Amino acid sequence: MGMTGTGKSTFIKLLTGKKDIKVGGGINPETSKIGSFSFYHKHQRVIMVDTPGFDDNRPKMSDSKLLGYITEFLSEEHKGKTLHGFIYFHRISDVRISGTAKRNIRMMSSLCGPSAMKNVAIVTTRWDEVNKEQLQAAEKTETQLSGYFKDFTDNGAQLYRHDNTLESAKKLISSVLDFTAIDKIQIVEEMRSRKTLFQTAAGEELASQLTQLEADHVQQIEGLEKQLGAASRLEDNSYYDELNKLRNDLRGRRGKVAKDRQKLELMKIAPKRFKQLRSLITERRPK
Ligand SMILES: Nc1nc2c(ncn2[C@@H]2O[C@H](COP(=O)(O)OP(=O)(O)OP(=O)(O)O)[C@@H](O)[C@H]2O)c(=O)[nH]1
Ligand SMILES: [Mg+2]
């Protein structure tokens, strides 16, 4: 799990050696659905699950749909298998912990609940790009990130560094496989107690995030409209066009967030319905 571009797919590609796993090259999110990939580690069959991050700016998959898929996976897909852990990815080069990163951390927290938090490996990627001069700043980022994961670290979670080498990926996987298997995941327990997705802690968290995002977008649109009014009195068409484009993009995002929130409220996914969604999750076995 983790924000777009943090290296989730790259990590899986490194471990599985599967050349067809797509990794992002630009700023747009690359992975748009959940995929699971298996490989052997020390003679043990391991399945890694790649998920997109929660992000209102991602095309193809809405946050509420993503929550549904993750919940389905955690409730149904891993039956008969041992769930050892979650890996949360963050780029060490991201000095500022963005709003989207904070959203993803809160979603992780409400999905896992306290008892599964010890099974979360908080991984910072791109250590291969950190030189001596940048080391202090990188360590500061790590400390800052750890602050946002306080609930997790208080419950036993630890931070790890990944430098994009196979050796570091294998070391991390060994650590995760050494975790005592997860016995309780908050969202799974809640769904078992017949709550609807909207009533779970993660559903409530997502609803409140979407409400906040919509309010933020409205405020930004208002700000841009004021600037557009002032720009229309200038004779600079390109500045006006730029502001206009920003405003229209934000209007689109606002509409998407509002629709997503409505969808979440209507979402009464009962566990038996999850089976219908299962076909959307792919598993690729080793050749
Ligand atoms: N130097 C360096 N680059 C990395 C590392 N991990 C990922 N990258 C690069 O970062 C970019 C994004 O990586 P992805 O693996 O696609 O990121 P992702 O988390 O799967 O992103 P989404 O699918 O959009 O959610 C790619 O260009 C990778 O080559 C790393 O540890 N070091
Ligand atoms: Mg990806």
Phi, psi of 82, rounded to the nearest 5 degrees: -100, 125
Atom of ligand 1 nearest to the CA of 23: 16
| pTM for this predicted structure | 0.89
Question: What is the predicted pLDDT for the residue at 275?
Answer: 55
Ligand 1 near 125 CB (within 6 A): yes
pLDDT over 80 at 49, yes or no: yes
Give the start-to-end residue ranges of the domains of the chain: 8-191, 192-273
Atom of ligand 1 nearest to the CA of 29: 24
When the candidates are 3.40.50.300, 3.40.50.2000, 3.30.70.260, 1.10.260.40, the CATH number that belongs to 8-191 is 3.40.50.300
**Residue with CA closest to ligand 1 atom 12:** 5
Question: What is the predicted pLDDT for the residue at 270?
Answer: 54
Q: How close is the Cα of 193 to the center of ligand 2, in Å?
A: 32
pLDDT over 70 at 277, yes or no: no
- Pick the range with the lowest mean pLDDT from 25-34, 183-192, 264-273: 264-273
Q: What is the pLDDT of residues 122-177, one digit of tens each?
A: 999 999 999 999 999 999 999 999 999 999 999 999 999 999 999 999 999 999 99
Sort strands 35-41 and 282-284 into parallel, antiparallel or unpaired.
parallel
CA distances to 104, 167, 196, 246, 273 from 267, in Å = 20, 43, 7, 31, 11
Ligand nearest to the CA of 55: 1
Looking at residues 203-219, what average pLDDT do you find?
95
Ligand 1 near 139 CB (within 6 A): no
Question: What is the predicted pLDDT for the residue at 23?
Answer: 83
Axis crossing angle, helix 166-178 with helix 8-16, rounded to the nearest 10: 90
pLDDT over 50 at 21, yes or no: yes
**Residue with CA closest to ligand 1 atom 27:** 25
- 279 pLDDT tier (thresholds 50, 70, 90): very low
- Higher per-residue pLDDT: 287 or 128: 128
Most confident of 41-55, 152-166, 181-195: 152-166
pLDDT over 50 at 280, yes or no: no
Q: How close is the Cα of 218 to the center of ligand 2, in Å?
A: 30
How far is Cα 152 from Cα 269, in angstroms, rounded to an integer? 28
- 172 CA to centre of own chain: 19
Ligand 1 near 58 CB (within 6 A): no
Atom of ligand 1 nearest to the CA of 163: 31
Ligand nearest to the CA of 168: 1
Q: How close is the Cα of 89 to the center of ligand 1, in Å?
A: 10
Ligand 1 near 35 CB (within 6 A): no
Nearest C-alpha neighbor of 88 from the set 169, 160, 184: 160
